[in-house]
Amino acid sequence: MLAAAGCERLYWRVRDALACSEEVRVVARSWREAGRTELTTGVVEGRLDAYVTALMDTLG
C-alpha cells in the first residue's frame, strides 16, 4: 500500500536515497559497466546529494 500522506512518501524517498548512499561506488560502477562512462562515483554522489537536498527543500 502506498503512503497516503505526502510527508510519509517523502520519508520513504529520503530513506531510499540514504540507503543508496552507502553503495554509491557499486551503483556508479554498474552504470559505467552498462556503458554510461560519464557516471563516475563523484557524479553519482553529486546527483544523489542534489536529490536529497531537493527532497528536504520540499519541507519548506
Instruction: Residue count of the chain, please give it.
Output: 60
Question: Rounded to an integer, what distance in angstroms lies between the CA atom of residue 26 and that of residue 29?
Answer: 5
- Tell me the whole-structure pTM to 2 decimals: 0.76
More confident position, 55 or 5: 55
**Predicted confidence (pLDDT) per residue in 5-47, tens digit:** 667 788 888 899 988 888 999 999 999 999 999 999 999 999 9
Return the residue matching grid coordinates 497516503: 4
